Structure 1
Amino acid sequence: NKDEIQTKLKVPDEIKENDYVIDKTLIEDIENKLKKNPLAIISDYTVEKKTEYPLLPYSLSELQLVAGKKYNYEPKLVLDTVQSLYEKKLTTYPRSDCSYLPENQFDNATEILNTLSNIDDNFKTLIQEANPKLKSKAWNDKKITAHHAIIPTAKQCDINNLSETEKNIYKLISTCYIAQFYPAHIYNKTDIKINCNDYIFTATGKTILDLGWKKIYKANHNDEENILPICHKDDKVIFINSNITEGITKPPKRFTPATLLEAMKKIDKFVKAPEVKAILKNVSGIGTEATRASIIEKLLDKNFIAKDKQNLIPTKYGESIYKILPHFLKTPDITAIWENELSKIAEGTGDVQKFLGGQIKIINEAIKQTKTLKLDIDMPKCPYCHSILRPVISKKTNLKYWICKNFSTAEDSKCKKGIFSDKDDKPVLIHCNKCRKGYMKKNISKDNKIFWGCDNYPKCKNIMSDKNGLPNNSTNTKRKKLFK
């Protein structure tokens, strides 16, 4: 038999250093031994039939994660969009942490599927192949929390009247619902172990028997090509050739808004202590389905973190804050301790006053520490009152601008003009070249054209056009840097 089996070496512990082989000659020695004595034997051969059931309908965080990976949508945008769909009565309640459905809603399946078949030809085809009598694991009253999973309603949707974002989110929710009426994905998983010169080599193969629900996600049919030859335990094989792969260790990937949201939900993965991990595994993580996106937005708004394309990176300000924080606030462990105390209170065995007293003590300690803390950081300052400027994101325009800590429109405000535009993550602080008292601020005319005007208006009516995000004045294009 001339069939070939591609395997991987199970690297012996004695030549590993932190799970890596640092010295290439150690692997080359193994390779030479195999060439000298190529005879090997299959020490283990197993074929196991596997069944993969449809993905459960989406909770809010799962929907945010999938939409983030597929469309690069921000968690807040997903929440706002699914809220809009809910208000249009096209989907169910959006702020749900549940992935299951009440059993009494199973009877609505035929009506909902008929509605979805009118979305487009693709959905019509998918639903023709669906079986509305097939009941997935999603319908389970015991798993329902305050709300059930997010699914489409029976209301007819005119897909052309939705925004592009609404279309994509609605189709994600609908596709996941349709998957509940497809059979399971079934395949054979084959594992082989080969012993050669007392070294163990392994191989895993997959043969699809029934594509099932993965068909609607356009599953990769090439999985069927990953087929291992039929073997038996104790079959004799020989070493043919080898390939040594060299690589460089890389730091963990940066978080995106979507993956950070997932990490917040599965915070137990980021702790090592078994007792803490066990507690965090049984709670909902940091925040709730409705608040996680706003927590990330607040971190961005407060300038603790910033965006580099889709990645989230710490700012110098954020790093400075992190350095001065008490150690216990830098790890998720405190969440586990609090959750454990709250669980005891809910069960009637905990002391509410003792818990609150502990929180007050922590807050007082933190306030005491702040009186002696000094931030070594270069933050822009307001040219009017010299207070710190911080970046914020406009909810209406999604644009960044800088606002003074003392800014307010109230009569007794210390600073009524401390709002500035952003350019390359810095505030635009340009003196009016006419009155030399005010600063140029970006404005939009009635016909949607950008221009710059002096904020000393009406005393000064200086106006400039916009050029690449700055006032178009060849004699005044440098921004004045007002830093600490």
Structure 2
Amino acid sequence: MRLFIAEKHEVGQAIAKTLGNPRRKDGYYTCGNDVVTWCAGHMLELCPPEDYDEALRKWTLESLPIINIPWKYRVIEGRGKQFGVIANLIKQADEIVNAGDTDAEGQLLVDEILEYCKNRKAVKRILINDNNEKLIRRALGNLRENSEFFGLYQSALARMVGDKLYGFNLTRLYTLKGREKGFNGILSVGRVQTPILGLVVARDRAIADHRKTYYFTVKGQFSIQGLNFPALFRAPEDSPLDEKGRIESEVYAQRIASACKGQPAKVISVDKKIKQEAAPLPYDLLELQVDASRKFGVKADKTLKITQELREKKLITYNRSDCRYLNDENHQDAPEVLATIVGNAPLFAPFVKKSDPSRKSRAFNNANVTAHHAIIPTQGRGDISSLTEDQRNIYLLICRAYIAQFWPLKESRVIIVNLEVEGYQFRAVNTQIISPGWSALYKNDKGNQEIESGKSDDSTTVELSQLSKGYEGFCTDCQSEKKETLPPKAYTEATLLKDLKQVAKYIKNSEIAKLLRDKDKGKKGESGGIGTPSTRDSFIVKLKERDFIEEKRKLLVSTKLGREFHDALPATATAPDMTALWHQQQKDIQEGRINLDTFLAGLVKTVTEEVIKVREMGLPIKDNSPNCPICKVTKLRRIKGKNGFFWGCIGYPSCEASFPDKRGKPNLEPKPKANAGDTTDHACPECENGNLIKRRGKSKKTKKFYNWYGCDQYPTCKASFFENDAKLKFG
């Protein structure tokens, strides 16, 4: 029996259909002598420290660093049944085919199962990046030895084990040292999460450190051949310019304006060209998250959830794709997909009618497709009126981007006129749309950077086509204008997600920046990014939960805690350099220049050195949380509850004070929800230092109230007793 193990059910289903005569069983398909089963993403996870040693469940500085090598796996909760199916089929198989996705992660998630199950049978590899039957049939005829991809598996394993080892050691280290300063939250560190915090902190500080400076422009008004239009002075290189090529001398700008005003002008060149613009590419997950945030205010993590729901309804293709291109074979399905769009969303009927399914846009390019193609509508029928508003909006975005691939190019006539006055040159640019083409689908989409080319200072709405070289006239007026330099803009969720695709531009070391760009070589739309489309949003959510960043008026900014924590970390942790260096080592592992053990040994050394340093030097972080006004012993902490943030006493349950959150601070004006209790004269029988406090509780099971006692020395003493406890001797 030959066993195919796919990464996800829909791929397994497509393989079974291609093999022919599939019969559905519980967790697999049979196709004659072939069996096809599937994973649900990763089926295994690395064990936490306490699975190696129960003593490691407690966080202590003495236990660090924790080096769990060799590592152990465990089955992810909720996936035990399907894993059992896979493991049982592996035992029965004569030959196995790894049908994971074609990227490193796809190689890893099947190979780790085979390793866990101690498989020693022959394993082949099939490379599938599209569920198109023709492509799968071609891949079935070109099976390769799985051993050819051992380096790819090892490189992915290095990243996974490295992330775990780095993350839990430094998170425990900084959290424990933070507690010494009175901070009781989790100070989490991660290879991707922490550099994202670094980006936000750097942006906030660039804004705060911005010092207002000025630059100057010179604009003339011209009258030539009956046309009146503006043109912008083009400063020569020997002018007093700043690093961005802007005039920084007001005296110089005023001198140019005075010299040109009222003087004869001459057209020295006219450049006329037709500009053709292709439609925006179909979506990958990140671009969809960006547009959903910009247009509808939908958070990135919610967009991921919604696309998963749409995929489960069979309305869209694989939703976690990091690719914006399609296979040539996808083009053959265009008539059916367009017809399905009309059936599901009749509002697109007029636009589909004007589409040409035979048109092949730049999106259809096999060479640019990675493990998955772009997110597009399927041929699945559905009633979009039954969708939620957010589901409908996102489905319509995906449909629009697909329809645009079958519309004509947008065509514009661009005329550039260069003029000369008193030896000084000016330029005017006029753009006239000849045919809107696909842009008619986007005419109400303001703020979309992909379709808005943006107007430059030398743009004019005056049609300049009648001008020719040698025409003469006058510069009727000329004025200099003082302009203020602007600070960088604070991040929004959309702009931060965009930047995560290109963080290499912030790396000062050009060689390291190149390593990060090399990681994304051949991956269209990525240029030295960190994280993946399906995980980036989760890091932003985690940073918010840790109170390292917060959202103010739709802007993402760092908190005081976030900045202090950032400053307490080594530069290697807050910069994306580590991802670049790890990529180079993973590449070396993949190509056999180093082995996994060498990589991990270097990482263990780095982590150990950081543990020793922080253990000795401590953590320069302050806990400025307000004192609890009820117990007056401990502090209040901002907590995220199911209904949003609130402030609670960290002395809970001895003190149950809580206050609503008001713009990031506790609102102490309302009467607090508290059960401070009544202090008794009875000593605590556990510690014998404190007195017992009588409290009121409510049973979740019976809903009845009861009395209980806690020590007033909490959290030093965490003793608690029911009223009828034998240890209580009240006389």
On the 8 A contact 1:57/1:150 being kept in 2, the answer is yes
Answer yes or no: is 1:257 the counterpart of 2:496.
no
**Structure 1 residues 157, 374: CA separation in 2 closer, same or farther (over 3 Å shift)?**
same
1:426 — aligned with what? 665
Residue of 69, 79, 84 corresponding to 2:304: 79
Amino acid of the residue matched to residue 609 of structure 2? E
Amino acid of the residue matched to residue 426 of structure 1? K
**Structure 1 residues 147, 70: CA separation in 2 closer, same or farther (over 3 Å shift)?**
same
For residue 5 of structure 1, report the CA deviation from its aligned partner: 3.4
**Structure 1 residues 435, 401: CA separation in 2 closer, same or farther (over 3 Å shift)?**
closer
2:481 is paired with a residue whose SS is coil
2:535 — aligned with what? 291
**Structure 1 residues 247, 51: CA separation in 2 closer, same or farther (over 3 Å shift)?**
same
Range with bigger deviation, 68-77 or 428-437: 428-437
State the Cα deviation string for residues 190-235 of structure 1 (Å, max 9, x = none).
Answer: 2222232332222222122221111111279999956323333343
For residue 112 of structure 1, report the CA deviation from its aligned partner: 1.5
**Structure 1 residues 327, 120: CA separation in 2 closer, same or farther (over 3 Å shift)?**
closer
For residue 349 of structure 1, report the CA deviation from its aligned partner: 2.8
On the 8 A contact 1:65/1:259 being kept in 2, the answer is yes
What is the distance in 2 between the residues matched to 1:25 and 1:135?
A: 55
On the 8 A contact 2:677/2:696 being kept in 1, the answer is no
What is the distance in 1 between the residues matched to 2:612 and 2:632?
A: 30
1:26 — aligned with what? 252
RMSD of aligned Cα (Å): 3.2
What is the distance in 2 between the residues matched to 1:406 and 1:346?
A: 51
2:622 — aligned with what? 376
Residue of 516, 527, 532 corresponding to 1:280: 516
On the 8 A contact 1:431/1:437 being kept in 2, the answer is no
What is the distance in 1 between the residues matched to 2:342 and 2:510?
A: 48
2:639 — aligned with what? 391
Answer yes or no: is 1:248 the counterpart of 2:484.
yes
What is the distance in 2 between the residues matched to 1:376 and 1:31?
A: 56
Amino acid of the residue matched to residue 499 of structure 2? A
**Structure 1 residues 47, 75: CA separation in 2 closer, same or farther (over 3 Å shift)?**
same
Residue of 12, 32, 35 corresponding to 2:261: 35
For residue 353 of structure 1, report the CA deviation from its aligned partner: 3.1
For residue 460 of structure 1, report the CA deviation from its aligned partner: 7.3
Amino acid of the residue matched to residue 533 of structure 2? E
On the 8 A contact 2:657/2:676 being kept in 1, the answer is no
For residue 435 of structure 1, report the CA deviation from its aligned partner: 6.1
1:5 — aligned with what? 229
What is the distance in 2 between the residues matched to 1:387 and 1:173?
A: 48
On the 8 A contact 1:417/1:455 being kept in 2, the answer is no
Residue of 432, 457, 480 corresponding to 1:207: 432
Matched residues, number? 435
Answer yes or no: is 1:400 the counterpart of 2:639.
no
Range with bigger deviation, 422-431 or 162-171: 422-431
Range with bigger deviation, 364-373 or 128-137: 364-373
2:591 — aligned with what? 347
2:45 — aligned with what? none
For residue 419 of structure 1, report the CA deviation from its aligned partner: 9.2
What is the distance in 2 between the residues matched to 1:418 and 1:140?
A: 61
What is the distance in 2 between the residues matched to 1:147 and 1:327?
A: 35
Amino acid of the residue matched to residue 466 of structure 2? I
On the 8 A contact 1:34/1:196 being kept in 2, the answer is yes
1:229 is paired with a residue whose SS is coil
1:28-427 map, 5 Å: 28-35=254-261, 38-218=263-443, 225=461, 227-282=463-518, 283=520, 284=526, 285-371=529-615, 372-380=618-626, 386=634, 389-392=637-640, 394=642, 397=643, 399-401=644-646, 420=658, 422-424=660-662, 425-427=664-666
State the Cα deviation string for residues 381-404 of structure 1 (Å, max 9, x = none).
Answer: 78699477353364xx5x224578
1:15 is paired with a residue whose SS is coil
State the Cα deviation string for residues 401-426 of structure 1 (Å, max 9, x = none).
Answer: 4578898xxxxxxx698795642123
What is the distance in 2 between the residues matched to 1:437 and 1:335?
A: 55
What is the distance in 1 between the residues matched to 2:478 and 2:623?
A: 54
On the 8 A contact 2:658/2:674 being kept in 1, the answer is no
For residue 123 of structure 1, report the CA deviation from its aligned partner: 0.6
On the 8 A contact 1:136/1:180 being kept in 2, the answer is yes
What is the distance in 2 between the residues matched to 1:346 and 1:404?
A: 51
On the 8 A contact 2:656/2:673 being kept in 1, the answer is no
What is the distance in 2 between the residues matched to 1:118 and 1:191?
A: 46
On the 8 A contact 1:420/1:428 being kept in 2, the answer is no
For residue 162 of structure 1, report the CA deviation from its aligned partner: 0.6
On the 8 A contact 1:3/1:229 being kept in 2, the answer is no
1:313 is paired with a residue whose SS is strand
1:411 — aligned with what? none
2:419 is paired with a residue whose SS is strand
Range with bigger deviation, 208-217 or 285-294: 208-217
**Structure 1 residues 279, 3: CA separation in 2 closer, same or farther (over 3 Å shift)?**
farther
What is the distance in 1 between the residues matched to 2:635 and 2:675?
A: 25
What is the distance in 2 between the residues matched to 1:259 and 1:62?
A: 11
TM-score by length of 2: 0.55
1:139 is paired with a residue whose SS is coil
**Structure 1 residues 163, 384: CA separation in 2 closer, same or farther (over 3 Å shift)?**
farther
What is the distance in 1 between the residues matched to 2:286 and 2:462?
A: 33
For residue 332 of structure 1, report the CA deviation from its aligned partner: 2.6
What is the distance in 2 between the residues matched to 1:79 and 1:418?
A: 36
On the 8 A contact 2:376/2:398 being kept in 1, the answer is yes
What is the distance in 2 between the residues matched to 1:288 and 1:340?
A: 17
On the 8 A contact 1:9/1:200 being kept in 2, the answer is yes
For residue 22 of structure 1, report the CA deviation from its aligned partner: 4.3
For residue 240 of structure 1, report the CA deviation from its aligned partner: 1.7
What is the distance in 2 between the residues matched to 1:5 and 1:350?
A: 65
What is the distance in 2 between the residues matched to 1:145 and 1:421?
A: 50
For residue 256 of structure 1, report the CA deviation from its aligned partner: 0.7
2:490 is paired with a residue whose SS is coil
Percent of pairs with identical residues: 29
Which stretches in structure 2 are left out of the alignment for 5+ residues?
Answer: 1-224, 447-451, 521-525, 680-694, 699-704, 709-731
Amino acid of the residue matched to residue 87 of structure 1? E
TM-score by length of 1: 0.80
